[in-house]
Amino acid sequence: MLKIFAIGNLVRDPELRATQSGVQVCSFTLAVNRKKATEADYIRVNAWRGLADSCHRYLSKGKKAAVTGTLTLSSYTLNDGQQRYQMEVQADEVEFLSPKPSGDMPGDPPSGFVSIDDPDLPF
């Protein structure tokens, strides 16, 4: 088994679809910079089931993400009979690294929460 860990930025919005059996899959491409700032590798990522839904909700073009998963090689045949190969990462974990929108700062309560100042609370 080949595990891969990559950090990069999405090159376009993720695509959510379902298999014929109804399993959700979200696909996106990460641009991962090399040591030279002018060079990047483009890695196709597939996230499945609940992780697919989260990726579709919280990732978008330009956002930074860290992906851990297994590297797979698939093949397909074009209409003219030529064989093509494609390497993809099947995500086990995806961490969303871009800061939250709406100006939430570390230490601030998350949006939608109300601070309660009640002296009778035991904590």
pTM comes to 0.75
CATH superfamily, with its number, for domain 3-96: Nucleic acid-binding proteins (2.40.50.140)
Q: What is the pLDDT of residues 66-122, one digit of tens each?
A: 999 999 998 989 999 999 999 999 999 999 998 876 555 555 555 555 566 666 666
Q: Which residues contact 77 (CB under 8 A, 6 or more apart)?
A: 83, 84
Q: Is residue 38 very low, low, confident or very high in pLDDT (cuts 50, 70, 90)?
A: confident
Query: Using H for helix, E for strand and C for coil, what is the string for the chain?
Result: CCEEEEEEEECCCCEEEECCCCCEEEEEEEEEECCCCCCEEEEEEEEEHHHHHHHHHHCCCCCEEEEEEEEEEEEEECCCCCEEEEEEEEEEEEEECCCCCCCCCCCCCCCCCCCCCCCCCCC
Q: What are phi and psi of 51, to 5 degrees?
A: -65, -35
Domain spans in the chain, listed from the N-terminal domain onward:
3-96
